């Protein structure tokens, strides 16, 4: 804690001592001559910079103390938000396939448990749930590493390391020679697979600063997290009769096929892109004073990493938006994975289906997820039309996403009562089978709304907020399925489903509460206050720039000369300072 406050004090000293001067590419050499003559670095010519960045829309520079800080210009082609559509599509495709592999891996052996139990002579019912639960425990541990590290090292390196590890441990599961080694490999597999779950939301936010486009990408992301687990049961149900190992061989083939896509994916995190640019400029010009905004931060790796890795915990404790959203998503997620235990009880136990056919009973959940995507896109258009006619409600932050959760919550509750009270030998299997449609629609609408709300509320720190939510829901997802068979055996199908329906009904009030009190909650949030202050400062400086006035150099954080990404980096830095104070 003392280290945190020392870092805060040092940052304040640096910011108060810094004098920023807007430098155009044509003026960079003149501004260098204005530096202190004792600074030997200022004697190095900046003519190569001038030649490379002669286009004023490309790059911007500013002076902080004796350093030249490089940042993106408003139309910089290397700024991820300005990339061509084809390059953005590569990022989208890579992110989607990483999420698909991750979520397919979570349930790839769900219908192969009897074969695994027979080979390793396992008879304990709780132990037989572990191949799925232990994977989700990896989902608990992984985001605490991958989310914060993606805000420090960039997106590509953590994702590539994790995807390579996921492929290796999928292979290890296929050749495991004992039940204990299989569980260890599944744990490691889950930790690797959690990287895209924790990071891809931030990946999409990097390339789109428009909330509408970003929200649609998040919708595709959430659809993948829903479809992936549904593929596993029917694949394993049909393949396990040959060998349970073939479940993992198929998973390995699928992940290996898309490894090149992950390798080719470019780095999207703006501060890291600028870091690479500054490194190249130092090499080209020989001027070691050129740095990026990321390099201005403390280089105490241990202190910095401990600050970032502890941020999700502090957000859960201090940010009610994060804690309540995490609770809601955790219960919905846990019930989703509980279905992998409940559906065999219902469709194999009551209706006498084999494992492969019972795996097909998950398909209506996918249909419901598709319908949820259409509802999301319809509401997006409805909101845009309301804004176009200046409807007052359309400009309230909470109405951008949360009404979808207000619809999804009741659908989720209805589906649970539906399957619970229609699963009977006297009722045709199609009736409980169709309950998956409102279940899938409700589940996905809840996740689309709540995760997008987190991203919109915390912006540049959304990876940490989503890591907190991912960690929490994975805890519930790992634990609740362990209680599935005892709960269904004791209460029966009717009342077991009713119990989780009543729990879902209780938490479904959360989005309604956010709509009513969300502005007050965000107003009391230190993170949101800092982000709001920075955005307001940006707005004022942009107005000055449009009027042809000089940027306000008395308040360095408000300077528009640093470019768009530099302002975002400043906002991130201030929000991090707020998180330190929270801690």
The one-digit pLDDT tens for each residue of the chain (583 residues) are 444 434 334 433 333 333 333 333 333 333 333 333 333 333 333 334 444 444 434 555 555 556 777 778 777 888 888 889 889 889 988 988 999 999 899 889 888 888 999 999 988 877 888 898 899 888 888 877 887 788 778 899 999 999 999 999 999 999 999 999 999 999 999 999 989 887 887 788 788 877 777 777 777 777 877 888 888 888 888 888 889 999 999 999 999 999 999 999 999 988 888 888 888 888 888 887 788 777 776 555 566 666 666 777 778 887 888 889 989 999 998 999 888 889 989 999 999 998 888 888 999 999 999 999 899 989 988 988 888 888 888 888 788 889 999 999 999 999 999 999 999 999 999 999 999 999 999 999 998 888 888 877 776 566 677 777 877 887 888 788 888 888 998 999 999 999 999 999 999 999 999 988 877 877 777 766 666 676 666 667 666 656 666 544 433 333 333 333 344 344 444 433 333 323 3
Which residues, including other chains, have CB under 8 Å from residue 24's CB and lie 6 or more apart?
56
Location of structure tokens 């931030």: 202
Contact assessment for residue 206 and residue 155, using Cβ atoms and an 8 Å cutoff: yes
For 214, phi then psi, to 5°, come to -65, -40
Phi-psi region of 373 (alpha: psi -120 to 50; beta: other; left: phi over 0): alpha
User: How is residue 55 annotated by DSSP?
Assistant: S
Contact assessment for residue 66 and residue 289, using Cβ atoms and an 8 Å cutoff: yes
CB atoms within 10 A of CB 263: 12
Torsion of Cα atoms, 512 then 514 then 517 then 523, to 10°? -170
Bridge pairing between strands 67-72 and 290-291: parallel
Location of structure tokens 């139990």: 117
Report the distance separating Cα 45 and Cα 30, nearest Å. Answer: 10
The beta-strand segments (E) located in 14-113 are 22-23, 59-64, 67-72
- Helices marked H in 423-525 — which ranges? 430-434, 436-458, 462-479, 484-507, 510-523
489's tokens: 């055996």
Contact assessment for residue 401 and residue 215, using Cβ atoms and an 8 Å cutoff: yes
């Amino acid at each position: 804690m003392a280290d945190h406050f020392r870092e805060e004090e040092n940052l304040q000293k640096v910011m108060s001592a810094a004098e920023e001067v807007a430098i155009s590419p044509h003026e960079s050499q003149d501004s260098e001559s204005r530096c202190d003559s004792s600074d030997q670095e200022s004697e190095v010519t900046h003519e190569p910079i001038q030649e490379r960045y002669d286009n004023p829309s490309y790059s911007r520079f500013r002076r902080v103390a004796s350093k030249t800080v490089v940042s993106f210009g408003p139309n910089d082609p290397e700024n991820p938000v300005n990339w061509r559509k084809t390059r953005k599509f590569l990022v989208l495709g890579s992110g989607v396939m990483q999420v698909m592999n991750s979520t397919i891996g979570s349930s790839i052996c769900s219908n192969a448990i009897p074969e695994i139990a027979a080979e390793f002579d396992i008879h304990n019912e709780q132990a037989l749930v572990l191949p799925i639960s232990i994977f989700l425990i990896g989902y608990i541990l992984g985001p605490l590493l991958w989310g914060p590290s993606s805000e420090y090292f960039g997106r590509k390196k953590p994702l590539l390391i994790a995807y390579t590890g996921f492929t290796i441990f999928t292979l290890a599961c296929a050749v495991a020679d004992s039940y204990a080694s299989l569980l260890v490999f599944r744990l490691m597999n889950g930790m690797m697979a959690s990287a895209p779950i924790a990071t891809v939301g931030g990946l999409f936010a990097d390339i789109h600063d428009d909330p509408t486009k970003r929200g649609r990408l998040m919708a595709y992301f959430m659809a993948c997290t829903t479809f992936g687990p549904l593929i596993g049961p029917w694949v394993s149900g049909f393949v396990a009769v040959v060998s349970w190992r073939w479940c993992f061989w198929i998973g390995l083939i699928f992940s290996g096929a898309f490894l090149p896509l992950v390798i080719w994916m470019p780095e999207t995190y703006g501060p890291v892109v600028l870091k690479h640019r500054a490194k190249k400029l130092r090499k080209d010009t020989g001027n070691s004073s050129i740095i990026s905004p990321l390099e201005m931060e403390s280089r105490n790796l241990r202190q910095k990493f401990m600050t970032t890795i502890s941020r999700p915990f502090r957000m859960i404790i201090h940010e009610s938006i994060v804690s309540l959203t995490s609770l809601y998503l955790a219960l919905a997620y846990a019930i989703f994975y509980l279905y992998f235990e409940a559906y065999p009880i219902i469709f194999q136990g009551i209706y006498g289906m084999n494992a492969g056919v019972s795996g097909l009973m998950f398909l209506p959940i996918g249909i419901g997820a598709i319908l949820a995507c259409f509802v999301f896109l319809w509401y997006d258009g409805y909101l845009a039309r309301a804004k176009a006619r200046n409807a007052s409600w359309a400009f309230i932050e909470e109405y951008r996403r949360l009404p979808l959760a207000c619809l999804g919550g009741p659908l989720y509750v209805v589906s649970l009562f539906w399957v619970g009270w229609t699963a009977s030998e006297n009722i045709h299997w199609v009736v409980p089978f169709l309950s998956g449609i409102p279940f899938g629609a409700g589940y996905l609408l809840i996740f689309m709304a709540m995760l997008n709300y987190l991203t919109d509320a915390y912006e540049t720190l959304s990876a940490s907020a989503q890591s907190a939510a991912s960690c929490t829901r994975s805890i519930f997802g790992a634990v609740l399925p362990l209680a599935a068979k005892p709960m269904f055996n004791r209460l029966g199908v009717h009342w077991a489903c009713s119990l989780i329906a009543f729990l879902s009904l209780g938490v479904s009030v959360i989005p309604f509460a956010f709509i009513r009190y969300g502005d007050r909650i965000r107003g009391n949030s230190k993170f949101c206050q800092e982000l709001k202050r920075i955005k307001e400062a940006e707005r004022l400086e942009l107005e000055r720039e449009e009027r042809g006035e000089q940027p306000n150099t008395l308040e360095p954080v408000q300077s528009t000369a640093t470019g768009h990404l530099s302002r975002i980096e400043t906002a991130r830095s201030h929000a991090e300072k707020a998180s330190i104070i929270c801690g």
